[in-house]
Amino acid sequence: MLFVAILISLFEETFFRGMLFQASQSTLGVGRAAVFTSILFSLTHLINLGHQTLSLTLLQLGFTFVLGLLLCLITAQTTSLLWPLLIHTVNDFFSMMEPPINLPGITTTSFQIIEIAVIILLILPILRQNHQWLS
């Protein structure tokens, strides 16, 4: 599972953050390029409709969008794919683990909503520090 997580992350980060984001930020600016590539990154996960419910897929689209934004902003700030690769690999690895989250009162869906909120909280200081990216 770790090998698969590394391969998926390597491909997706190289394409979306390494190539597409880097190429589009010179014409769109960092903020718009981050949103654009995060939308595309998120939409690629529609393929999962073949093996999961619509509601779970919609939640995954939201999660991958905010994760994509965070990884784009990290890439813009560090000019490196190392942290996005590590974060993406760890996330994919734990997403593939079995059994799914089994904590009292916490479902996989509620845990992913919490993850989205945490990622948004991580994005805010980066945006505050680099507010010119929003223009």
The whole-angstrom separation of Cα 97 and Cα 118 is 21
User: Where along the chain do its domains lie?
Assistant: 2-134
pTM of this structure: 0.81
Six token digits for residue 103: 């904590």
Crossing angle of helices 108-129 and 54-78, rounded to 10°: 30
Q: What are phi and psi of 46, to 5 degrees?
A: -60, -20
The 10 Å CB-count burial string (b at 16+, else e) for 21-58 is: bbebbeeeebbebbebbbebbbeeeeeeeeeeeeeebe
pLDDT one digit per residue (tens) for the chain, 135 residues: 889 989 999 999 999 999 999 999 999 999 999 999 999 999 999 998 998 889 889 988 998 999 999 889 888 888 888 888 988 888 888 777 765 666 666 666 777 787 778 888 887 777 677 766 665
